[in-house]
Amino acid sequence: MSINNYDFDGFTINLYVDENGDWLCHFVEMPNISAFGDTSEEALIELQTAWEMVKEDFIAKGLEIPIAPRKLAYS
């Protein structure tokens, strides 16, 4: 599966392997939204789940969902 199969709303993703061989990923613009997995695909799936939960939380609190800076530049 390609990273293009995931919808991260234009945010930049940092995906890497740590010293223990675990795959980690996070939004560059919001590093507190992160995930990990045994494979890159698992980490990306977890990040997608985390991002959906963050958006649901913003909506529940009546807040605007953050927009990726590069999307703002084209608005």
- Tell me the C-alpha distance between 60 and 49, whole Å: 16
Q: The domain spanning residue 62 has which CATH number?
A: 3.30.160
Per-residue confidence (pLDDT) for residue 61, from 0 to 100 = 97
Q: Note the pLDDT tens digit of each residue in 4-62.
A: 667 899 899 999 999 999 999 999 999 999 999 999 999 999 999 999 999 999 999 99
What is the span of the domain harbouring residue 21? 3-74
Q: Which two tokens stand for residue 10?
A: 């234009």
Residue 72 pLDDT > 60, yes or no?
yes
Distance of CA 20 to the CA centre of its chain: 21
Per-residue confidence (pLDDT) for residue 6, from 0 to 100 = 77
Q: How many folded domains does the chain comprise?
A: 1
Q: Which two tokens stand for residue 53?
A: 């939960």
Per-residue confidence (pLDDT) for residue 73, from 0 to 100 = 61
